[in-house]
Amino acid sequence: MTEPDPKPEQESESESEVQPSEQKSESGVQPTAASRVSEVARGESAEATAEAKESVHEFMAEAAVQNEAANEAVSAGGEENGTGVGIGIGTGISADDSGSAPFIAFEHVHKSFGDLVVLKDVSFSVLPGDTLCILGRSGVGKSVALQILMGFLRADAGRVMVAAEDICGFTEKQLQAIRRKVTMVFQNGALFDSITVGENVAFPLRERHDLAEDQIQKIVTGMLDMVGVSNMENVLPSDLSTGMKRSVAIARALASQPEAVLYDEPTTMVDPLMGHLLGSLIALLKTQLHLTSIVVTHDMRLARKLADSVVFLHQGEVRFFGTVEEMDRSDDPVLQEFLSLDALVLPA
């Protein structure tokens, strides 16, 4: 008697064994568990990035609306009380033909440290939403002027207007309110070294006390991506290059939704490419957020890229205040020497 053919049963087992192979990808390669996890992770990462971009877009749009309203209020104040002309007293340049008040101004400011005169009868102004570049060689008082505007130093004489308020007699509590409107990006970044990049940017967001933690994290991620240092949230500032520290410092400054930003030598000690990127970022933020900006620099390429107006300091005094076009036409010998030396050092 012939034994039954076992083939059908074997085929059944074979079919059972090859069933997983039916799950092969279109490329013909069977996905492993690890690859499937990786695909899910990539999908989640893309979704998180999209959410972060949306969050930072909403955050920046809110800041832009606030800044536009603040700029209009300052301008309207100048038109109503006539303070718009002459906040650049002594320079022969009025703040604006329409009589709009400047957002920031020095009026006959003096500052000395003992016998060392740093600023002598300095006057200049910057209109709401405009960018002023402060030019000059090292040691002429450029950074001191920024510290006076922030209230870190007091002027010996003269008037200092910030957000259309005379801050010369302000208490520390009043100055803190000004610093919520005007922030500063220091030359060294001034980041908190003991906490991560992400925590640095999150710091002013947490100080608001009106944002959920998940919102803060999304804004931080989107902000770092916007300034060109994405995926750096968990890195310590000491592990960053000088240019990256400046980018993070700008992100942290923007996180406080300021009406004005003061930049102290933003392109010093960075490579030309990073300098170009930082300049483009500052220009973009001014346009998108209606920011009033002051940039201290000796980099004429940066100044020509950013400036609505320029003030040139020499030995603590204003040698020139006006537009870039007026600067090029100026016959001041000290200013022209500065421009000539810059052209030799940094050829086009």
Estimate to the nearest angstrom the gap between the alpha carbon of 81 and the chain centroid.
32
Helices 272-289, 33-81: crossing angle, 10 deg rounding: 60
Quick: pLDDT tens for 26-67: 555 566 655 555 554 455 456 667 777 888 888 888 889 989
Query: Which of 22-26, 49-53, 75-79, 132-136 reaches the highest mean pLDDT?
Result: 132-136
What Å distances lie between residue 98 and 84, 114, 115, 138, 186, CA to CA?
Answer: 8, 41, 41, 35, 34
The strands making up 165-166's β-sheet, listed across from edge to edge, are: 116-126, 104-113, 157-162, 165-166
Q: How far apart are CA 49 and CA 53, in angstroms?
A: 6
Second CATH level (architecture) for the domain 49-79+128-155+171-345? 3-Layer(aba) Sandwich (3.40)
DSSP notation for 160-175: EEETTEE-TT--HHHH
What Å distances lie between residue 309 and 126, 177, 212, 220, CA to CA?
Answer: 8, 27, 40, 32
Reported as a pLDDT band with limits 50, 70 and 90, residue 166 is very high
Mean pLDDT of the chain: 83
pLDDT given for residue 57 in this prediction: 84
DSSP notation for 10-34: HHHHHHHHHGGGGG--TTSPPPPHH
Note the pTM of the prediction, 2 decimals: 0.79
Quick: pLDDT tens for 291-319: 999 999 988 999 999 999 999 999 999 99
Mode of pairing for the β-strands spanning 157-162 and 165-166: antiparallel
Quick: pLDDT tens for 192-219: 999 999 999 999 999 888 889 999 999 9
